[in-house]
Amino acid sequence: MRKFLSFALLLLFLGGCQRPPQIQQQEAYVFGTRVEVLVADPDEAKGRHAIATVLQEFDRMHRGYHAWQPSELYRLNQAIARGEAFAASEELAVFVRDAQALARQGGHLFDPGIGRLISLWGFQSDEFKAQLPDRAALDALIRQKPSIADLRVDGSTIASRNPAVALDFGGYLKGVALDRAAEILKREGIHNALINIGGNVMALGSKHGRKWKIGIQHPRQPGPLAALELDDGEAIGTSGDYQRFFELDGKRYPHLLDPRNGWPATHTRAVTIVMPRGARSGTLSDALSKPIFIAGPAQWQQTAQALGVSQVLRVDADGRIQITAVLKQRLETNETMEVIRP
């Protein structure tokens, strides 16, 4: 059996299809996924203009930092492969330093420097073949231990001591874009909005006085596993094995790769985390769900605690649902869950 899935909306909005006229909404496809921005503002023209400004910024970031199509990030990866230093923009240099710090914080279970591994598995494409990578090439790359930690950033000049490094910001840039969207909306005078980038969600304010309510996608069934009301400024990040994967000989191979061995992490179906309001809640919601997902059954709780993430829902390979006590108190669900206490 072969199965392909290029993208999925990991968090589904609840409340039916009808929206009051004061809700402005627009969708797009960037960062390799579906993007949706909803604004609750009585001035519809202002809301539509703010959404358009956000989507323009998303498109700029997507084109500027695409790892596999002509972009500044693509040119940086080419320079690394040649062993050359690269004169980066100030923004890219900031992204690299920030992603390095986040990777270090997560014990490099999340590591944007493994772009060549992603390419070997074919996950860099929107459509990919159900086939395993060449084992010799995979083993050779793992021996080179590519990591974003191998990059040296001097001002805006970036160089690497390891030519096997290739950056892929797929697990980082969506979160950055959430924070950027929040900044833009507030600058445009919008205080009530919901931003969804492929299941990475941020809430601003409320929906006409009521909290924004979302559903957390069930990893194996249609519809939500649970519902959650978000406070102002909170962000949710979900990593799942159902977003990008293929199946071969009855086994599922998701796009979430373990940098330690180069193989997909198959011990977890999904991890959802909630980050409290903060200047970087979007970035953290995206980047910190990955190491918790990849850490596995024996280490995910310790990893979450080390990262300062207290609200976690995890679905393991057998479908068992584990949840931290602080998040369990907030969820609406009929599912049986194992409550994890610190």
Structure tokens at 336: 């049986």
Mean pLDDT of 73-83: 98
Structure tokens at 119: 């390419």
**Rounded-to-integer distance, Cα 14 and Cα 226, Å:** 11
**CA 192 to chain CA centroid, nearest Å:** 23
Query: CB neighbours (10 Å) of residue 208?
Result: 12
Is the confidence at residue 119, as pLDDT, over 50?
yes
Contact between 240 and 6 under an 8 Å Cβ cutoff? The reply is no
Mean pLDDT of 202-229: 95
The conformation of residue 83, written as its DSSP 8-state character, comes to: T
By the 10 Å C-beta count (0-12 exposed, 13-18 middle, 19+ buried), 105 is classed as middle
Is the overall model pTM greater than 0.75, yes or no? yes
Residue 252, strand partner residues = 247
What are 158-209's pLDDT values in tens digits?
999 999 999 999 999 999 999 999 999 999 999 999 999 998 999 999 999 9
**Rounded-to-integer distance, Cα 104 and Cα 108, Å:** 5
User: What is residue 21's predicted lDDT score, i.e. its pLDDT?
Assistant: 54
Query: Looking at this protein, which amino acid is placed at residue 41?
Result: D
Average pLDDT, the chain: 93
**Rounded-to-integer distance, Cα 24 and Cα 92, Å:** 32
**Rounded-to-integer distance, Cα 254 and Cα 268, Å:** 10
Pick from 34, 4, 2: nearest CA to 245: 4
Ranges assigned E (strand) in the chain: 4-5, 11-13, 23-30, 33-40, 86-87, 151-154, 157-160, 193-197, 200-204, 212-217, 224-230, 235-240, 245-248, 251-254, 268-275, 312-316, 321-324, 338-340
Contact between 175 and 286 under an 8 Å Cβ cutoff? The reply is yes
User: What is residue 15's predicted lDDT score, i.e. its pLDDT?
Assistant: 43
What are 307-330's pLDDT values in tens digits?
999 999 999 999 999 999 999 999
By the 10 Å C-beta count (0-12 exposed, 13-18 middle, 19+ buried), 52 is classed as middle
What are 275-313's pLDDT values in tens digits?
999 999 999 999 999 999 999 999 999 999 999 999 999
Phi, psi (degrees; rounded to nearest 5) at 142: -60, -35
Pick from 309, 256, 316, 313: nearest CA to 285: 309
In the chain the domains, ranked by start, together with CATH numbers, are 72-160 (1.10.3980.10)
Confidence of residue 110 (pLDDT cuts 50, 70, 90): very high
Structure tokens at 79: 């320079």
Least confident of 135-139, 151-155, 243-247, 270-274: 243-247
Spell out the long-range contacts of 248-256 with Cβ–Cβ below 8 A and sequence spacing 24 or more.
248/2, 248/130, 248/131, 248/132, 250/1, 253/121, 253/132, 255/118, 255/121, 255/123, 256/290, 256/293, 256/294
Secondary structure (DSSP) of 24-63: EEEEEEETTEEEEEEEE-S-HHHHHHHHHHHHHHHHHHHH
Q: Which residues of 142-164 are buried (b: 16+ CB within 10 A; e: fewer)?
A: beebbbbbbbeeeeeebbbeebb
Q: Any idea which residue has 């609750």 for tokens? A: 40
Is the confidence at residue 69, as pLDDT, over 70?
yes
Confidence of residue 10 (pLDDT cuts 50, 70, 90): very low
Assign residue 31 a region (left: φ > 0; alpha: ψ between -120 and 50; beta: otherwise). left
Phi, psi (degrees; rounded to nearest 5) at 163: -70, -10
Q: Any idea which residue has 């923004």 for tokens? A: 91
What percentage of the chain exceeds 70 in pLDDT?
Answer: 94
Structure tokens at 48: 């539509």
